[in-house]
Structure 1
Amino acid sequence: MTAPLPSTPPPGTTARRNPWLTGRPLAQPPERHLYCFPHSGGLPGEYVRWGQQLPGTQVYGICPPGRGGRAAEPPLTDLDAVVRELLDDTEFVPPYDLFGHSLGALVAYEVTRELVARGRPLPERLIVSAFPAPNQARHATRLSDKPDDELVAALDERYGGIPPQIAADAELMALLLPVFRADLTLLDNYRHQTGEPLPVALEVLGGDADAVTAEDLEQWRQLSTKSVRVGRFPGGHFYFRDDPAPLLSVLARRT
């Protein structure tokens, strides 16, 4: 079972539970840390489980308001607010990497930009998955305003859909759809602000059958002054669900 983890307290203060961080604390002090940003409507537990296959790595799932243990909180619909509230509450512990899948890739990218702006310790790598470079023009149809049935159908068409066992549970869908809608509002309203490329190494990943194309991924090269590696794996938008090994091998790398 995952649970909120303590944040790093300022000197002379007591650690408190940080609602943004979900994970399974390691028995031994970790060698490194991996912070995972979930996809639209996603739960952090899906990513926390990877810690079992990444020895020495403390894996945290980022849990925004409105889901998981924070289901009673209203979800955020503005990316600036997500970034600000997360960083006001959370210190990322070096050495660390950030990983984001789909919408999570965009959030992790903007978090990294804000870390640079605040002069905070930076990740060794920003690992982004299944999302086009944010500085490119978006032409996708708005989804956040669609009625529930059209929204579910559009999610199925664009991203491969909601798992059948979840879609068949009316009560669970009633809880999840507001989270999907909030996340998609965040995405629909996003506008990239021009700035300096990141002084952080990038790993850019995707599935070879995803709607996010090889060219979409290659455009990330414009957004870093450090090394950029681009890789595609067999599969669609959630390529790692069928075979997590290739992604886990990237996450396990230390450079």
Structure 2
Amino acid sequence: MPNWLLSAAPRAAACDLYCFPHGGGSAAEYLRWSRDLRTARVHAVQLPGRVPRLHEAAPGTMRELVEAFVAEAPLPAGRFVFFGHSLGALFAYEITRALAAAGRPLPARLVVSGFRAPHLPHPVTQIHRLPDDELLDTVARLHGGLPDEVLASAELRGLAASALRADYRILETYVWHAGEPLPVPLTVFGGEDDRITADELEAWSEHTSAGATVRRFPGGHFYLREGPVPVQRALSAALATVRAGERSTTC
């Protein structure tokens, strides 16, 4: 069975929090959150085609990724929350839709970050077709987030370009299909200086029949790195509403 999850140690009475990485991101970044999110057991999602799953082919489309995750990833019968940043928000949303379509247990809350509502037009780009160096330079210019140590190493640049190319291929070939709003509460985060506007974040409310809350934080696209403490506090508060019995599948 493919190893989709890098999981923190179990905690009594803790929510299972599944974190989906941003484009080109790694699972390890979110696993570090477990030190501060004391009411959650963090499960960082590891995508095929990147460390430590380099031997596996990266999915070519959103449908391939969603179908593989739903079929193979171990999810509990209840008591879990999804979080996704940037492209990870779209992954988490589409996986939740697939679970709903299959009659499977749904997350008690869906937390999406740094991504415009999926029904809105997305800029038409072909970043996944660029040569490695141009691809990295373009992503760094648009969003930042590429560590200096990665950019300084030829080997790490190659790995980063491969991961980003796979993720941008999924994003740039993605087509949203209309469907019923999810019966799952939404929490929407974003950076005040990000290219994603307040209106584009507010538009996520159209994708839930269970209510949505929106909060923006100081910083750009990677505001959650620039000021992690208030973000983690807000995420803890979202988890607390689940623990308080917001839905029948409570933590």
TM-score by length of 1: 0.90
Q: CA RMSD in A?
A: 1.3
How far the C-alpha of 1:242 sits from its partner, in A, is 1.9
Name the CA distance, whole Å, in 1 between partners of 2:13 and 2:6.
16
1:41 matches 2:24 = yes
Candidates 99, 115, 123, aligned match of 2:107? 123
Runs (4+) of structure 1 moved beyond 4 Å?
A: none
Separation (CA, whole Å) in 1 of partners of 2:156 and 2:80: 34
2:55 corresponds to 1:57: no
Q: Secondary structure at the match of 1:19?
A: coil
**Quick check: 1:23–1:45 contact (8 Å CA) kept in 2?**
no
What is the CA distance between 1:29 and its match in structure 2? 3.7
Displacement, 1:247?
Answer: 1.5
Identity of aligned residues (%): 41
* 1: CA distance, partners of 2:2 / 2:55: 16
Gaps of 5+ in 2: 242-251
Q: Distance in 1 between matches of 2:40 and 2:4?
A: 18
TM-score by length of 2: 0.91
The corresponding residue for 1:84 is 67
Counterpart for residue 167 of structure 1: 151
Which residue, 119, 127, 144 being the options, matches 1:143?
A: 127
- Structure with the bigger RCO (C-alpha within 8 Å, sep 6+) is 2
SS of the equivalent of 1:196 reads coil
Q: Deviations over 1:52-94 (max 9, x none)?
A: 1111411001111011221222211211111111111123222
Give the structure 2 partner of residue 229 of structure 1.
213
Q: 1:158 aligned to 2:131?
A: no
* 1:194-231 Cα deviation digits (max 9, x unpaired): 10111100001110011111111011111111110000
Partner of 2:193: 209
CA distance in 1, matches of 2:132, 2:58: 17
CA spacing shift, 1:30–1:59, aligned 2, 3 Å? farther
What is the Cα deviation at residue 178 of structure 1? 1.2
8 Å CA contact retained: 1:148, 1:177: yes
Alignment check: 8 A CA contact 1:201 1:224 kept: yes
Matching of residues 13-24 of structure 1 within 5 Å: 19-24=3-8
1:67 to 19, 30, 50: 50
1:195 partner letter: G
Unaligned runs of 5+ in 1: 1-16
**Are 1:112 and 2:100 counterparts?**
no
Alignment partner of 1:193 is 2:184: no
Aligned to 2:249: none
